[in-house]
Amino acid sequence: MNILGIETSCDETAAAVYTTKRGLCSNVLFSQVDEHYRFGGVVPELASRSHIEKIGPIVEEALHKASYTLADMDVVAVTNRPGLPGSLLVGLCYAKALAYAAGKRLIGVNHLEGHIASVYLEHDVPFPHLCLTASGGHTALYRVDGYGIYTVLGQTADDAAGEAFDKVARLLGYGYPGGAQIEALAAQGGFKDYRHYPRMRHRGTSFSFSGIKTAVLYDLVARGYYDMHEKRLSNNTLENTIEVASSLLVAVGDIFIDRLSVALAQSPVRAITFVGGVAANQYLAQRIGALAAQKGCSFFYPSRAYCTDNAAMIAFVGHYKALQGQYDNWLLDLKHR
């Protein structure tokens, strides 16, 4: 079974080929990060236009790198939800047209199921396991019982964890995305908790990150490091920036550990996985790994290339759905399933 995977849910135009015989054969991506950098976040209209320009060449490159042609593919698997509607539509319309014209089957893939599966590209993860997905758009905790069989245990009521990093990085004068910058600054602060931002415990297995971003803002304002009228830093020091970044990262780490501990107490599992763009964070991965070891579970997280958005994970989901006979018809839209 040969699968062409396509992903355009946010600001990455991506295509990959996954086959039963060879596994992952290619994984190609164009990141729009430079196009959005100066706006401090993803501009949906720009994202859609960029996807339109890039999708054709990216798909061709993925097939070429895999040493296949479209004729060799059995299925086109495409992210059809959730994400920016304009961006999703580009990938979905392209995939449908391609599959229809070439006589291939079509499979719509949930982007979040893609993230859950991203760790299977490199690791044999035992079921059941807990999966913590944290990215710029999503933060959720799942119990996963098999390929494509999962239950949402909790999600964020407002901002995603990556969004909190991005927003605080922006407050501190850094560009988008800011997660890696926060990690680098926090390392300089020795991953210590200087400012004691709220953990919002007692939320069971659900998350909320907008409060922590506001707490950072008020903390900066109260100490005279941020001018609310001018909406910019004033009299800030690098030392303060380091302390704020370090405290934020420790607080997010505490929140993750707290929610995972609650979930582990509710339903015992054999492993924990940590996926999504935020899983590129070594400090957070290390803390979750320590919790897993303490609870007698194994722990897995993807390589950086599979943490952030990619089409390899979409092709992988397409592959097991094809083996399960879960195909979609030409009415596939952005709400399906």
Is 222 exposed, middle or buried (CB count within 10 Å of its CB: 0-12, 13-18, 19+)? exposed
Which of 114, 189, 253, 276 lies at the binding interface for ligand KG4 (CB under 6 A)? 276
The answer to whether 302 contacts ligand KG4 (rule: CB under 6 A) is no
Taking the C-alpha atoms of residue 159 and residue 172, their distance in angstroms, rounded to an integer, is 18
* Site for ligand KG4 contains 91 (CB under 6 A): no
Q: Decide: 55 and 91 in contact? Cβ < 8 Å.
A: yes
Contacted by 79, from ligand KG4, Zn ion, none: CB < 5 to 8 Å by type: none
State yes or no: residue 334 binds ligand KG4 (CB under 6 A).
no
Q: Is 7 in the site for ligand KG4 (CB under 6 A)?
A: no
Task: Name the residue nearer to ligand KG4 (CB basis): 154 or 179.
Answer: 179
Instruction: For residue 263, give both structure tokens.
Output: 């979930």
Q: Identify which of residues 62 and 84 has a Cβ nearer to Zn ion in the complex.
A: 84
- Per CB under 6 A, does 253 bind ligand KG4? no
All residues at 6 or more sequence positions from 207 whose CB lies less than 8 Å from its CB, including other chains: 139, 140, 141, 154, 155, 156, 157, 161, 255, 259
Q: How far is the CB of 304 from Zn ion (least distance, A)?
A: 13
How far is 181 from 49, CA to CA, in rounded Å?
Answer: 28
Identity of the residue, 309 or 328, whose beta carbon is nearer to Zn ion in the bound complex: 309
In whole angstroms, the minimum distance from the beta carbon of 307 to Zn ion comes to: 9
The token pair that represents 69 in the structure block = 């042609």
Nearer to Zn ion, 166 or 309 (CB): 309
Q: With binding defined as CB under 6 A, does residue 113 bind ligand KG4?
A: no
**Longest distance between any two alpha carbons in the chain, whole Å:** 64
d(Cα 30, Cα 10) in Å, to the nearest integer? 11
CA angle 210, 285, 283 (to 5 degrees): 75
Identified binder of ligand KG4 from the candidate list 256, 308, 315, 332, rule CB under 6 A: 308
Strand partners, 144: 129, 150
Binder of residue 165, out of Zn ion, ligand KG4, none (CB less than 5 to 8 A by kind)? ligand KG4
Tell me how far, at minimum, the Cβ of 272 lies from ligand KG4, in Å.
18
| Window 168-207: contact mask with ligand KG4 (x via CB under 6 A) | ---------xxxx--x------------------------
267 token code pair:
């339903």
Q: Would you say 116 or 332 has its CB closer to Zn ion?
A: 116
| Member of 142, 165, 174, 306 binding ligand KG4 (CB under 6 A) | 165
Q: State how far the alpha carbon of 201 is from the alpha carbons of 191, 206, 209, 226, 252, in Å.
A: 20, 10, 12, 28, 11
**What are the residues binding Zn ion (CB under 5 A)?**
135, 309
- Provide the β-strand partners of residue 132: 141, 274
Cα angle, residue 145 at apex, residues 104 and 137 outer, rounded to 5°: 70
Q: Is 115 within 8 Å of 150 (Cβ atoms)? A: no
Among 17, 99, 106, 278, binds ligand KG4 (CB under 6 A): 278
Which of 5, 114, 136, 302 binds ligand KG4 (CB under 6 A)? It is 136
Complex with ligand KG4: residue 91 or 276, whichever CB lies closer: 276
Nearest residue (CB) to Zn ion, 196 versus 337: 337
The partner in contact with residue 178, picked from ligand KG4, Zn ion, none with C-beta cut-offs of 5 to 8 angstroms by kind, is ligand KG4
Which residues does residue 140 pair with via DSSP β-bridges, in sequence order? 133, 155
Report the interface residues with ligand KG4, using CB under 6 A: 10, 135-137, 162, 165-166, 177-180, 183, 276-278, 280-281, 308-309
